């Protein structure tokens, strides 16, 4: 049996609520210790009705789940359901790939480490978050991508975060928790059963909530894997940028296109050079 693993932290009230809904909706039952994966920190484990979905609850916070790197070939992909925190406190439904594309690890993982992204699944998740937001009367929530950031980074299977935020008011919003659960399961179903009718893309530049890349994903059918924001690029030397660009493209399976938001010419030239050497189309703003 090959599993999709949905992971959450028992320390995270939003993640627990989303996972509870997934367990109910997918008719999951408790699994014996080690039946899915014998990993440090697993406190709760479930196998769901169709047999291809497993849900794991961990004792550590989600950004510290580098233990997921020990998952074997029986796991094809990982989704982490989690709270999202922001000083703005704006209600949000977000999805992104973890990773540290610079020499910092402010929130878990290792510096310079990038795990594999899951661009087609993440595209379906974004679309389903938009859809469920409308269906559930959650129009006050923004649905969007986030750029690549935080841990865990030492993960070998494609990994995607789905987050509910940005303050405790939203974390305990039962309707929003259920909407995220529905969106996640619907996206999984569509990703597994439909053709990938999107262009796999890596984004460079822009701000943390990736408005350009989110818009292009919805309007231009681009499915983004890794996105490296302007605030990270500004901290990199040109040689570091070249290395990061190669890595994020490599860790975005099936990448066909690179989109570059406005930046200095010398910086843009490095990204274009890497993209061209990989035979990728380049779109620039």
**For residue range 81-126, what is the model confidence (pLDDT) as tens digits?**
999 999 888 999 999 999 999 999 999 999 999 999 999 999 999 9
The answer to whether residue 50 scores a pLDDT higher than 80 is no
pLDDT (tens digit per residue) in 117-169: 999 999 999 999 999 999 999 999 999 999 999 999 999 999 999 999 999 99
52 contacts 4 by C-beta, under 8 angstroms? yes
Tell me, yes or no, whether 119 and 88 share the same domain.
Answer: yes
Which residues constitute the domain of residue 141? 3-193
164 contacts 114 by C-beta, under 8 angstroms? no
Determine the pLDDT at residue 33: 64
pLDDT (tens digit per residue) in 256-269: 999 999 999 999 99
Tell me, yes or no, whether 189 and 205 share the same domain.
Answer: no
The answer to whether residue 76 scores a pLDDT higher than 90 is yes
- Whether the full predicted model's pTM is greater than 0.85, yes or no, is yes
The answer to whether residue 220 scores a pLDDT higher than 80 is yes
Determine the pLDDT at residue 194: 76
| Residue 245, domain CATH | 3.40.50.10700
39 contacts 23 by C-beta, under 8 angstroms? no
| Residue 83, domain CATH | 3.40.630.50
Residue 85 token pair: 């925190």
Kindly state the average pLDDT of the residues 204-220.
98
Mean predicted lDDT score pLDDT of the chain: 96
Tell me, yes or no, whether 187 and 100 share the same domain.
Answer: yes
pLDDT (tens digit per residue) in 189-200: 999 987 778 999
Whole-number Å distance between alpha carbons of 284 and 279: 16
Nearest Cα residue to 54 out of 82, 19, 14, 95: 19
Tell me, yes or no, whether 150 and 215 share the same domain.
Answer: no
The answer to whether residue 176 scores a pLDDT higher than 90 is yes
Count of domains in the chain?
A: 2
Kindly state the average pLDDT of the residues 3-21.
98
């Amino acid at each position: 049996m090959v599993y999709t693993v949905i992971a959450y932290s028992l320390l995270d009230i939003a993640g627990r609520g989303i996972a509870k809904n997934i367990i109910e909706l997918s008719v999951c039952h408790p699994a014996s210790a080690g039946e899915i994966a014998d990993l440090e920190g697993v406190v709760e484990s479930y196998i769901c009705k169709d047999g291809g979905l497993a849900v794991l609850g961990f004792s550590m916070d989600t950004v510290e789940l580098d233990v997921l790197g020990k998952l074997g070939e029986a796991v094809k992909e990982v989704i982490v359901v989690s709270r999202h925190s922001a000083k703005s406190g704006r209600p949000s439904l977000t999805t992104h790939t973890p990773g540290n594309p610079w020499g910092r690890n402010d929130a878990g993982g290792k510096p310079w480490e990038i795990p594999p992204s899951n661009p087609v699944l993440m595209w379906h998740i974004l679309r389903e978050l938009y859809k469920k937001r409308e269906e559930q009367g959650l129009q006050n929530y923004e649905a969007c991508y986030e750029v690549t950031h935080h841990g865990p980074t030492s993960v070998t299977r494609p990994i995607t975060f789905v987050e509910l935020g940005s303050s405790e008011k939203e974390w305990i919003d039962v309707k929003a928790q259920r909407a995220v659960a529905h969106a996640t399961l619907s996206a999984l179903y569509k990703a597994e059963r439909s053709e990938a009718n999107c262009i796999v893309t890596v984004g460079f530049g822009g701000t943390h909530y990736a408005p350009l890349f989110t818009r292009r994903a919805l309007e231009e059918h681009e499915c983004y894997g890794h996105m490296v924001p302007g605030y990270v690029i500004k901290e990199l030397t040109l040689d570091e940028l070249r290395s990061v660009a190669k890595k994020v493209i490599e860790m975005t399976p099936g990448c066909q296109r690179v989109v570059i938001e406005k930046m200095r010419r010398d910086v843009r030239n490095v990204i274009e050079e890497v993209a061209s050497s990989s035979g990728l189309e380049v779109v620039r703003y």
